Amino acid sequence: MRETMPQTALFPSMLGSECSGQVPVDMRERSVDLIFQDGSLVSGSLEALIERLVPTLDYYPDRTYIFTFLLTTRIFIHPSELLARVGQICLKQKQQLEMGPEMDKVKLKLFSAKIVQLLREWTETFPCDFEDRVARKELKEIVWKICHCDEGNSTIKKSLNHMMESLDEALSTRDQHKEVRGKITPGLSEKGTLLKVKSQSTHKDILSVCSDALVFAQQLTHIELEKIRNIQPEDVIHLCIQTGNIPNHKCCDSKKTQNVEAYENWFNQLSTLVATEICRVVKKKQRTRIVEFFIDVARECFNIGNFNSLMAIISGMNLSPVARLKKTWSKVKTAKFDILEHYMDPSSNFCNYRTALQGAAQRSRTAHTNCEKIVIPVYSLFVKDIYFLNKMHSDTLPNGHINFKKYWEISRQISDFMIWRAVECPFEISKRIQNYLLTAPIYTEEALYIASFESEGPENHREKDSLKTLRAMLNRA
């Protein structure tokens, strides 16, 4: 039945200025409690917004509205409760069709097909809404009621069966990701053991694993895309819920942000790995080579569109234990590094980075190859933008309506992220390099400082005192 109800693509920068819910004629009659501005929905009561989600015989909601509504209204109502409300409206409409002068089976089948399509879009886009036992029970009840009135319609039955199978598969895949994430142990934080002798013979450095900056950047991109694929759109919304706008809300579950936290931990792990690889090298010449190697890797990340790894590398090189290595930096050709730092300059709300990101996004929209489609934003800044967009604009208006204009913008930004996260990485995989990146030992902050001081001795009394204190701490540990 999808052919009879054409829809816009799910995430094609779908929430631009022309977006958001142009109103069909029949919806104007239903939307007495919805407010529109220049043909776009800007606010409405929760009840009216839910009603607008549910298809009728003559109406099917725009896909942009379905995505935005299902993504953001969990701030106001738990998905299982929403599903129950949708089921009630569906049942009421079906009963009205059945109670007509002559029950029209063709109309019933058309209505059923629209409800099935809505449920399919919901389960495909937000499968985790159905991890909840109550929501899954409610879904089965709606499905049963639809099948019950269309026992002779094999097309609808097949569509329903396919929906349930796809949902089970999506939830199973999600569970597998959780198990894998639990088994992967990041690089251990080293304290004193490697620092006493700093023997390079017992522990290989990064250049012995990979000396090609482009290949290294490509493997970082593989890891980045793999990790962001685990982040669902609702994971980001739960960060908004946790800001405290809605105390004791039923959706406030710390488990919902685990994927986000895992990705943020990866950024910190990569930054610390960069600092560790630089600080633990005894010889200045080799240390200089490693610094220049990471600069080249960062530049390749920029060219690819992998801004998150780029920022992590620059952050690692700007950590104090690395930045203080003046003798090393004096031997480094820093022109390329200065350019990269310019792009990541935090002034004017990271204006330079945002310009570069827009350029990469434009390249992605017109790309013909997956290489050109890659856009991996700095995730901490992406989340920060969503956070402040949520904080700066009220959830509801003085008349009690939900401020839906706010949620169009949040949804637009998240939908862009979902497009980028869906790109298949085209580069050849090197398990050896990836394994090193994910499991190589990294130093604690204290160990980094000691390694830095042992590479280039303290320059003043403050640094000498710091080294003495740190050694005492490590000896006691």
pLDDT higher than threshold 60 for residue 303: yes
* pLDDT band for position 17 (cuts 50, 70, 90): very low
Q: Is 37 exposed, middle or buried (0-12, 13-18, 19+ CB in 10 A)?
A: exposed
| pLDDT at position 203 | 59
CA distance 240 to 389: 9
| pLDDT at position 108 | 83
* pLDDT band for position 225 (cuts 50, 70, 90): very high
| pLDDT at position 166 | 85
Query: Side chain identity at 272, as an amino acid letter?
Result: T
pLDDT higher than threshold 50 for residue 183: no
Instruction: Report the predicted TM-score, pTM, of the whole model to 2 decimal places.
Output: 0.84
pLDDT higher than threshold 70 for residue 317: yes
* pLDDT band for position 126 (cuts 50, 70, 90): very high
Residue 41 pairs with which residues in a beta bridge? 36
Contact status, residue 219 vs residue 42, Cβ threshold 8 Å: no
Evaluate whether 37-172 and 201-242+257-475 have a shared fold.
Answer: no
Note the CATH architecture for domain 37-172: Up-down Bundle (1.20)
More confident: 17 or 203: 203
| pLDDT at position 14 | 40
Tokens encoding 104:
């029209």
| pLDDT at position 103 | 62
3-class secondary structure, 376: strand
| pLDDT at position 182 | 47
* 438-452 residue pLDDT tens: 999 999 999 999 999
pLDDT higher than threshold 60 for residue 404: yes
The domain locations on the chain are 37-172, 201-242+257-475
91 CB-near residues (< 8 Å, 6+ apart) = 145
What backbone phi and psi angles, to 5 degrees, belong to 42? -120, -25
Buried b (16+ CB within 10 A) or exposed e, 3-20: eeeeeeebbeebbeeebb
| pLDDT at position 13 | 42
| pLDDT at position 29 | 41
| CATH domain 201-242+257-475 topology | Son of Sevenless (SoS) protein; Chain S, domain 2 (1.10.840)
Contact status, residue 387 vs residue 240, Cβ threshold 8 Å: yes
| pLDDT at position 366 | 94
Of 184-188, 262-266, 296-300, 341-345, which range is least confident? Answer: 184-188
Buried b (16+ CB within 10 A) or exposed e, 100-131: eeeeeeeebbbbbbbbbbbbbbbbebbbbbbe
* pLDDT band for position 217 (cuts 50, 70, 90): very high
* pLDDT band for position 239 (cuts 50, 70, 90): confident
